[in-house]
Amino acid sequence: MTRILLLGGTSEARALAQALADAGFEAVYSYAGRLQNPVAQPLPTRSGGFGGADGLTAYLRVEGFTHLIDATHPFAATISHNAIAASGRARVPLIALERPAWAAQPGDRWRHVADFAAAASVLPNDGSGVFLAIGRQQLAPFVGCNHRWMLRFAEVASHPLRDATLIVSRGPFTVAGDIALMQRHGIGLVVTKNAGGHGAEAKLIAARELGLPVVMIDRPALPARHVVARVAEVMDWLHGAADRGV
């Protein structure tokens, strides 16, 4: 009998959860547990970590999962590494549902960097306004930089930055809204991670229209795995396994 563990936390994961529920698959949706009020899901859910690759391996075995789907954020590298390792150890097939990365368009002024520390190192430190659109987990490298920060979180949360304005809002966002937001707060530069997708792309289009430079943090590298970009491809993969009696 097919039993699926879906590692979620993204809009793509929610769409996949709905597709799994509609198709009648037995599945569990797993959250990282960082948000206090996560969006309701159409599947049974669990929240929190597993205790590394060993803990995830044990969970897959004890709970009798036959398939593992990684639909976490492209920057959730730790859980993705753990999923790859646990899949091999538990002999549970893995597929990753990953949104395509953003690509620069004509008029974009992007500077690519490898990680968050590199992003902090290339800032001008001139007191200008920076839209630091990276969430709240990787702010430490920016402590001590001389800027006026604008942050945007899905929920009210503490942060370590001085001279920062926190905007509490959940996407999807609009280009007009992000243009107005950047102009209102005197933003001269945008720092973001290459999350991909449409829900947060508005800030990049807004930066393009305003002629603002963007520091683009590239995605972390992961070992080779089966990656698809559409929910339908995951469903085809699952139906193929079910047809084979896996």
Output Rg (C-alpha) for the chain, integer angstroms: 19
DSSP string over 64-100? T--EEEE---TT-HHHHHHHHHHHHHHT--EEEE-PP
Given a contact cutoff of 8 angstroms between Cβ atoms, the answer to whether 219 and 101 are in contact is yes
Tell me what pLDDT residue 35 has: 60
Cα 148 from Cα 124, distance rounded (Å): 12
CA angle 133, 135, 139 (to 5 degrees): 90
Per-10-residue mean pLDDT for the chain, 246 residues long?
A: 95 96 97 72 93 98 98 95 98 97 97 98 98 95 97 93 95 94 98 93 98 98 96 95 49
Predicted pLDDT of residue 149: 98
Q: What is the pLDDT of residue 194?
A: 98
Q: pLDDT value at position 245? A: 45
Structure confidence at residue 37 (pLDDT): 66
